[in-house]
Structure 1
């Protein structure tokens, strides 16, 4: 289904650890799949926060017409959103982006997330399990309060690995420390991940070495969320070996991890298609 723009009413907004759990009444939004996101306008027409904020959709309930998001206060816009109360309204565009691919039948999959990057993973797990597959979770964060959804993961999967940088919950370390074990335990042929770019690169390398496909949901800043502004482009190499800038908001946020040139994110690679035309000619004065 195509995205719709609607005025959604806040049903609940509650703190969850270091994050906020937002529930919107948005009955006109349909066709949501794991990995889709929504773009929220914050503050109304006269506010100075002109750009929308993009958040992964945590859960969509067609029965109640609700959408759920998880977000952290990271700047002026998200602080303003956190100050909203039930009954307030926000302008919403959803569902947006390219979601995680869903299998045709049973597969083994490991779902890896950093912080609130786990938000879309539980719906994805339900889809995989509903097709007769099996899943394991690897959830990591800097500290215990920055984990999200551990109990939900434990309700869905036999194998749940929790790691924190400081050891305040689960094992001390990073998600990559336990990912090889999780892949082996599940016999995974797919690894789905969402989190910081460095984590996605490392997860892709481990998944590829194990012979598993890597599907990564990038956390790239998006100014418009609908493919107009080109602020969220990433260098991505196609099947023909040619690298193009692709928009995270339309071609992503989910990409084949092996196609993203992680080390070149935020740069203009010399071999990018069209880069020569974009590079200013040297002055001969």
Structure 2
């Protein structure tokens, strides 16, 4: 169960284009797993920033009772968070969501991330390695300063490929360019990815073609983070073949990539369960009222 607690900021430091935030977790670190996220209320009770901001958990240390998050300044809420200082307090709810699946035995896995989507991947890699498995990383970003964790990846495995859109670090290209070779090098059976929707769709296609399972952590905007508001829904195919809207904050953020209907994200597919009931329509009384 998630914990809601006033969390003291222990450190807030720059990390390239991003910020690393270390929080006193108030017990929230005990059950955190790679792929879980945290939701922060920023600005206190009287703030005009009403909605929580959701961030992947980069590190959880139950012994020290700390959580570490990585975030970018995108809008008013994250800019306000970046202006906080050690000793300040934010309202924390964590751990939330569904984490990456971890088999009990050893596996060979490729971890693919765009930008700071790599934040949860290093703890995931450590758990896979602790079970006797093998890991490789494919990390990408638009520019060198928007990469996160290249040195962390190289400390864990020699199998690291880095690409940037402009070629300012590593090879010029996108993460799907080196992915097939990495899959072959590791004979990987699992691919874990986090990043933009288009990237996840392409990574899933390549993984599936190579016979590997695809586990994707989606970056849907979440207003509540606890499954109430329904703003983060995605069309996902169930085991019975029926497409339903599932909430990224509770059923995800980690989904089987082959089950997500990527092309229909943000749409209302006509074959979605309950789609007819959600389609706006009018009746005679409505027309009369106009």
TM-score of the pair, normalised by structure 2:
0.97
How far did residue 281 of structure 1 move?
3.0
Trace 1:218-229 onto structure 2 (pairs within 5 A): 218-229=218-229
Residue of structure 2 in register with 1:40 after alignment: 40
Give the structure 1 partner of residue 18 of structure 2.
Answer: 19
Mapping 1:196-275, distance limit 5 Å:
196-275=196-275
CA distance in 2, matches of 1:281, 1:11: 53
Question: Partners in 2 of 1:198 and 1:283 — Cα distance?
Answer: 39
Question: Is the contact between residue 27 and residue 62 of structure 1 (CA under 8 Å) also seen in structure 2?
Answer: no
Given that 2:6 and 2:26 are in contact with CA atoms closer than 8 Å, whether structure 1 keeps it comes out as no
Distance apart, 1:167 and its partner CA: 0.2
Q: How far apart are the structure 2 equivalents of 1:226 and 1:242?
A: 24
- What's 1:126 paired with? 126
Within 2, Cα distance between the matches of 1:24 and 1:185? 38
**Gap runs ≥5 in structure 2:** none
- Find the counterpart in structure 1 of residue 184 from structure 2: 184
How far did 1:253 drift? 0.1
Q: 1:54-73 maps to which residues of 2 (within 5 A)?
A: 54-73=54-73
Structure 1 residue 277, shift from structure 2 partner: 1.2
Aligned mates of 2:187, 2:106 — CA distance in 1 = 12
Structure 1 counterpart of 2:4: 5
Residue deviations 1:239-264, cap 9 Å, x none?
11100000000000000000000010
Give the number of equivalent residue pairs.
Answer: 284
Could you list the runs of 5+ residues in structure 1 that have no partner in the other structure? Answer: none
* Cα offsets for 1:188-246 (capped at 9, x unmatched): 00000000000000000000000000000000000000000000000000111100000
Q: Distance in 1 between matches of 2:43 and 2:173?
A: 39
Q: Equivalences for 1:93-108 in 2 at 5 Å?
A: 93-108=93-108
Q: Is structure 2 residue 79 aligned with structure 1 residue 79?
A: yes
TM-score (normalised: structure 1): 0.98
Distance in 2 (alpha carbons) for counterparts of 1:221 and 1:168: 29
Q: Distance in 2 between matches of 1:192 and 1:224?
A: 25
- How far apart in 1 are the matches of 2:134 and 2:85? 39
CA distance in structure 2 between the partners assigned to 1:107 and 1:280 by the alignment: 48
The residue that corresponds to 1:170 in the other structure is 170
Residue 282 of structure 1 and its aligned partner are, at CA, apart by 6.0
**1:280 CA displacement:** 2.3
Counterpart Cα distance in 2 of 1:69 and 1:179: 26
1:27, 1:64 within 8 Å by CA — same for their partners in 2?
A: no
Q: Does 1:194 align with 2:167?
A: no
- Offset of residue 78 of structure 1: 0.1
